[in-house]
Homo-oligomer: A and B are copies of this chain.
C-alpha cells in the first residue's frame, strides 16, 4: 500500500527526473508532472535551449504534453514542479483551475505562490535539497541563460 506522502515523493521524483533530463540535453534543469487520480497525465521540462522556446517552461511543457483534457480533469489534478512557478506558469495553473501545486523549492527563485494561494490554490513547498542543488549549480554555471528564462536583464 502506498500512502499519500510516498505517492507525493514518487511524483516529485518524476519531476526531478524531467529536470535532470533537461540538464543532460544542455537545457535548464526544471521539470514538472501533472497528476490526475494517481496517474501522471503530462510530464515535461524546460525547452528554452532545446527548442528555442520562450513559453515551454517545465510546467508549460507538462501542460502541453497533458493536452486537451476535460476542464474537470485539470481541476482535479495536482501539478508537481521542481521550482516555484513563475508568473506565466502560475497563470496557466489558474487558467486551467489546477487545485493543488507541490513545489520542489523556492529558495533559488520565488514565483507567484502568493497569487496562487490568494486565488485558492493549495501550495506546498518541500524545500527538497536535490531541487535546490540542481538550480544552485545551474545558476552559478549559466547565469545569463537563467536570467533570460525569468525575463531579467543580465550583465553576464
Q: A residues engaging B (CB < 8 A)?
A: 48, 52-56, 60, 63-64, 66-72, 74, 86-92, 94-97, 112, 115, 147-148, 150-154
- Neighbouring B residues of A52 by C-beta, 8 Å: 67-68
Are the C-beta atoms of A71 and B112 separated by less than 8 Å? no
Distance from A151 Cβ to chain B, minimum over Cβ atoms (Å): 5
Distance from A155 Cβ to chain B, minimum over Cβ atoms (Å): 11
- Neighbouring B residues of A150 by C-beta, 8 Å: 95
- Neighbouring B residues of A53 by C-beta, 8 Å: 64
- Neighbouring B residues of A64 by C-beta, 8 Å: 53-55
Which residue of chain B lies nearest to A152 when distances are taken between CB atoms in the complex?
B71
Besides A70-B153, A89-B91, 4 more A-B contacts (Cβ < 8 Å) are A48-B68, A71-B152, A87-B94, A91-B92
Which residue of chain B lies nearest to A92 when distances are taken between CB atoms in the complex?
B88
- A74-B151, A97-B151, A151-B97 known; A68+B54 contact, CB < 8 A: yes
Partner of A91 from the list B54, B86, B147, B154 (CB cut-off 8 Å) is: B86
Determine the distance from Cα of A153 to Cα of B73 in the docked complex, in whole angstroms: 10
Q: List 25 A-B contacts (CB under 8 A).
A: A48-B68, A52-B68, A54-B63, A54-B64, A54-B69, A55-B64, A55-B92, A68-B148, A70-B153, A71-B148, A71-B153, A72-B153, A87-B91, A87-B95, A88-B91, A88-B94, A88-B95, A89-B91, A90-B91, A91-B91, A91-B94, A91-B112, A95-B150, A97-B151, A115-B115
